[in-house]
Amino acid sequence: MATKTNMDRAISEEWVFWVTGVPTVCMLACLTFGEFPLGRDSGFLPTSLIGVSVGATVMLGGAYRGFRALRREIADLKSSGTDDSPAIHDSE
């Protein structure tokens, strides 16, 4: 199996960010503008709070890993752009 490049990792982390971001924002809007029955059997509010916190955590992790992969890609491009040795080009 081929290893992923830094750009492939950044693109996959971007997808993680957006796929978790859309439902998280929808749940947050529902929590902000919704009216909830505050009875004993109402489990919607705690479930939504847990969903928003988990979604925000996954979004932040995806953003962090994506930016880290982009920084590595930029560092690789800078290092391979200044050195014209054949060993670098043969490994690609």
User: Residue 36: CB partners within 8 Å, gap ≥ 6?
Assistant: 42, 44, 45
12 within a domain of the structure (yes/no): no
The span from the CA of 5 to the CA of 79, in Å, is: 16
> Per-residue pLDDT tens for 3-45?
788 889 999 999 999 999 999 998 888 888 877 766 666 677 7
Q: How many domains does the chain have?
A: 1
35 within a domain of the structure (yes/no): no
58 within a domain of the structure (yes/no): yes
61 within a domain of the structure (yes/no): yes
34 within a domain of the structure (yes/no): no
Look up the domain containing 52 and give its range.
Answer: 43-77
Q: What's the full length of the chain, in residues?
A: 92
The span from the CA of 69 to the CA of 31, in Å, is: 33
Statement: the pTM of the whole predicted model exceeds 0.85: no
